[in-house]
Chains A and B, each alone.
Chain A
Amino acid sequence: MSMEWYLVLSALVFSIGAGGILVRRNPLVILLCLELMLNAGNLALVTFARAHGNQDGQIFALIVMVVAACEVAVGLGLIVAIYRRKLPVDVDELRELQG
C-alpha cells in the first residue's frame, strides 16, 4: 500500500472528529471526538515514520498517547465534578463564563 492511502484515511478520521466536536453537546462524547483527532494524528506520525524509515515518529506517537491519557484523566475528573454538583452535563448549558 502506498503511504498516501494512510494519510488520506488519517485526514478523514481527523475531519470526522472535528465535525463531531462541533455537533455533539455531551462533554463525554466531545472528549471521545478529541481522542479521534489525536489518533488520526498518531496514524499520520506512524505513517511518516514508516515512509522515511525513521523511528522518531513512533516515539512521537507514544508521547501523544501519554498526553491523551492525561487529558482523559483530567477531563473525566471535571465531568465527574460537574455531575456531583448536579449541574447539567451539557456544554450548551454550562455557559457561565460566557457572561
Chain B
Amino acid sequence: MAEVFFFLAAIGALAGALGTVALRNPFYSVLALVVHLLSLAALFLLLRAEFVAAAQVIVYVGAVMVLYLFVVAYVGGGADPISRAGSPSLRWASALFAGALFVELTIAVLGSGLSVLSTEGTGWFEGFGTPEQIGQLLLTDFLLAFEVASMLLLVAAVGAVVLARRRTGLEDPREISVGDLMRSGGRDEIGGGEAGTMIEVEGPPGR
C-alpha cells in the first residue's frame, strides 16, 4: 500500500516540478508549485514526519504561495516564453548541466554504501515526528536555532516592508517636509522623478 501512495505522490511531485519550470505563465507556475508542495507533504507523511507535513501545507501552501500569487497578480508577469531565453545552445547546456547534476547526485547517494538506505528505515518508535516530540526538541536541544530563526523572520519581515514600501508625498508641493527641503539644498524644483522611485531624490534622471 505504501508503494502505491509513494508512486502517486512522486508522480505528483515530479509533474509539479516540471510544470513549474516549463509553464510559460508565471501564474500557472505558482499553481504547479502548489501541486508539488502538496505531493511533497504526502511524502513527508509516508516518512512519518507528521508535523513537518502539516507545517508544509499550512506555512508553504497556505501562506508563502498566497504571497507569491499576490505578487504575480500585481506584477502581471505575462507570458514569458522559454524559447526566448538566451540562445538555443545555452538552453541545451542548461539541460545538460541539470542531467549531469542528477547523475552525480544519484551516484553520490546510491554509492555512499550506507546499508540503512536499502531498508525501510530503522529506529521508528511510537510518537516519532509528532508535534509533541518536535516541540520538545525545538525547546531543548535546538533552542538556539529556534530563537535565531525567529529573529531571522523578524528581520526579513522588516526588510520586505522597507524594500516594497511606496515612497510618496512629493507630488503635492505642500506636502514636502522640512527634511526634504534641507536635503535638496533649497532648490526651487524638487523632485522631477516619479513618485515611488529613487529618482525623485536625485532630480531628473540622467539616462
**Do the two shown chains form a genuine complex with each other?**
yes
Check if B153 sits within 8 Å of A85, measured CB to CB.
no
Check if B21 sits within 8 Å of A33, measured CB to CB.
yes
State the CA gap A76–B74 with chains docked (Å): 11
Check if B197 sits within 8 Å of A32, measured CB to CB.
no
Specify which chain B residues have a CB less than 8 angstroms from the CB of A25 in the assembled complex: 80, 84-86
Specify which chain B residues have a CB less than 8 angstroms from the CB of A85 in the assembled complex: 196-199
Judge if B10 is at the interface, Cβ distance under 8 Å.
Answer: yes
Give chain B's interface residue range (CB within 8 Å of chain A).
35 or more
> Assuming the A-B contacts A19-B95, A59-B138, are A3 and B116 also in contact, with contact meaning beta carbons closer than 8 angstroms in the complex?
yes
One of B85, B160, B194 near A24 (C-beta < 8 A): B85
Judge if B172 is at the interface, Cβ distance under 8 Å.
Answer: no
Residue-by-residue, is B85-111 near A (CB-CB < 8 Å gives 1, otherwise 0)?
110001101110111011001100110
How many positions in chain A have a CB within 8 Å of any CB in the partner chain? 71
One of B14, B49, B74 near A83 (C-beta < 8 A): B74
Judge if A53 is at the interface, Cβ distance under 8 Å.
Answer: yes
Specify which chain B residues have a CB less than 8 angstroms from the CB of A31 in the assembled complex: 68
One of B74, B123, B129, B141 near A80 (C-beta < 8 A): B74
Judge if B181 is at the interface, Cβ distance under 8 Å.
Answer: no
**Nearest-neighbor residue (CB-CB) of B105 within chain A:** A11
Specify which chain A residues have a CB less than 8 angstroms from the CB of B64 in the assembled complex: 35, 68-69, 72
Using a CB-CB cutoff of 8 Å, which residues 32-54 of chain B contact chain A?
Answer: 33, 36-37, 40, 43-44, 46-49, 51-52
Interface of A with B (CB < 8 Å)? 1-9, 11-20, 22-26, 28-29, 31-33, 35-36, 39, 42-43, 46-47, 49-56, 58-59, 61-63, 65-74, 76-81, 83-86, 89, 92
Interface of B with A (CB < 8 Å)? 2-3, 6, 10, 13-14, 17-18, 20-21, 26, 29-30, 33, 36-37, 40, 43-44, 46-49, 51-52, 55-56, 59-60, 63-64, 67-68, 71-72, 74-75, 77, 80, 82, 84-86, 90-91, 93-95, 97-99, 101-102, 105-106, 109-110, 114, 116-125, 128-129, 133-134, 137-138, 141-142, 145, 149, 152-153, 155-157, 159-164, 166, 194, 196-199
